[in-house]
Amino acid sequence: MRTDIVKEGKVVVKVPTENKYEAAVFYNQDAELQRDISVSVLQAWQTLTKKKLVICDALAATGVRGLRYSKEVSGIKEAILNDHNLLAVKLIKQNIKLNKLSKCKANWSETNKLLYSGKVFDFIDIDPFGTPAPFLDGAAHSIFHKGFVGITATDAAPLSGTYPTACLRKYGIKTIKGTEFYRELGLRNLLTFTILTFARQDRAFIPVLSHATTHYFRLYGKVEHAGSVEPLLKQIKTLYYCRKCLNREFGSVREKCQCGSTFETAGPIYVGPIFDREFCSAAIEDLKKRDFKQKLAELELLYTILNESDSPFYFDLDFLAKITKKHPPKMDIFLERLKSKGFVATRTHFCQTAIKTDAKAKQAIECL
């Protein structure tokens, strides 16, 4: 396997030089922004807990993520960089040596075999190519009862409703195809699956930061004991969606929308908060101190999330204008119109032309 050396953050890593989709060991350069944010997020968590962390990069590939945690996050006691691919493990060992990180250990194992080995981790990062579904039971089993978990999903199409059958097969969730809020729908589907999976292991996965960026979803959650599961379950409901008037309702069993059209249903789906403002602020404060190449874009993303409304499912202004055949106003004007009527209204990181608001679809359309 031919390799090249790249610098990312404070580490240098050997990466495959073959086409990234054909390489025996996968390195996604486009995910550097996500990994930068992960560093600040884990540092924020370590600072809040004041604990020496034993961490696991469960699907490490080149090891870049685990190496960066070890090099750039203070308070890391031990880092297990695991992969089932022997070529990856050999490359990880070279990268550990290259960066002189004695606290890192390369591990050759099938991921779930490691997660069910009896070892307990303070932080587990699940970053697969595709769905994380096969690994979340193992993560819930091996995480410390006051631990922290990061999860990536790159199979955005099934989660977002493009392939409803695949979503049902992989995640056990009925979704809706072709909604205008598909990115948030996908992220909340992933979050629902994660919460329910952890609940089976008597663990509460409480989201502290969630984002959808390009083709992937990323979740971070603190883990609490079983007593914290019930409040999460109360936030898991059925979504009723009217394609004609864009009305969204939750929980109440009904067939017809107030406009007379038949509701489409999705769920079960978590409709509670997807981030914690105090934690997001802590991650932002750490990120401000970093010298990442994409720092401005990363801060813009986190500030947008910090200021987002908690109301589930955004409204796309262009889509509202299209179905009503009206010319869309400027975003700031639209937001002010909603706020003047007493509604919460904010921009959202999910879509540049969308807003989050506690207004109903009819009320939002009236503000056009």
Query: Of 286, 306, 326, which one is at a domain's C-terminal end?
Result: 306
Check whether 23 has a pLDDT greater than 70: no
pLDDT score recorded for residue 3: 86
Task: Verify that 292 and 329 share a domain, yes or no.
Answer: no
Instruction: Tell me the per-residue pLDDT of 246-299, one tens digit each, with 9 for 90 and over.
Output: 999 998 777 899 999 999 999 999 999 999 999 999 999 999 999 999 999 999
Task: Verify that 92 and 70 share a domain, yes or no.
Answer: yes
SS3 158: helix
Task: Verify that 229 and 321 share a domain, yes or no.
Answer: no
Q: Of 24 and 300, which is predicted with more confidence?
A: 300
Task: Verify that 30 and 71 share a domain, yes or no.
Answer: yes
pLDDT score recorded for residue 17: 81
Single out the residue of 359, 358, 353 nearest to residue 320, CA to CA: 353
- Please say whether the dihedral angle defined by the alpha carbons of residues 133, 212, 192 and 43, taken in this order, is positive or negative: positive
Task: Verify that 265 and 333 share a domain, yes or no.
Answer: no
Task: Verify that 356 and 334 share a domain, yes or no.
Answer: yes
Contact between residue 328 and residue 321 where contact means Cβ atoms under 8 Å apart: yes
Task: Verify that 344 and 262 share a domain, yes or no.
Answer: no
Single out the residue of 203, 212, 198, 235 nearest to residue 37, CA to CA: 212
Check whether 158 has a pLDDT greater than 60: yes
State the CATH number of the domain containing residue 129.
Answer: 3.40.50.150
Both structure tokens of 330: 């400027």
Task: Verify that 340 and 322 share a domain, yes or no.
Answer: yes
Query: Of 281, 306, 331, which one is at a domain's C-terminal end?
Result: 306
pLDDT band at 22 (very low <50, low <70, confident <90, very high): very low
Task: Verify that 132 and 169 share a domain, yes or no.
Answer: yes
Task: Verify that 323 and 293 share a domain, yes or no.
Answer: no
Check whether 134 has a pLDDT greater than 90: yes
Give the whole-angstrom CA distance, residue 122 versus residue 52: 9
Task: Verify that 321 and 302 share a domain, yes or no.
Answer: no
* Range in 26-35, 36-45, 230-239, 268-277 with the lowest mean pLDDT: 26-35
pLDDT score recorded for residue 90: 96
pLDDT band at 20 (very low <50, low <70, confident <90, very high): low
Contact between residue 214 and residue 153 where contact means Cβ atoms under 8 Å apart: no
Average pLDDT over residues 22-28: 74
SS3 339: helix
Average pLDDT of the chain is: 95
pTM, full prediction: 0.96
Please report the DSSP string for 274-324 in residue order: S--HHHHHHHHHHHHT---TTHHHHHHHHHHHHT----SS-EEHHHHHHHH
Task: Verify that 38 and 100 share a domain, yes or no.
Answer: yes
Domain that holds residue 339: 315-366
Query: Of 263, 281, 306, which one is at a domain's C-terminal end?
Result: 306
Distances (CA, A) of 153 to 159, 235, 256, 338: 9, 22, 34, 34
State the CATH number of the domain containing residue 342.
Answer: 3.30.56.70
Contact between residue 38 and residue 152 where contact means Cβ atoms under 8 Å apart: no
Average pLDDT over residues 136-157: 97
Number of structural domains, the chain? 2
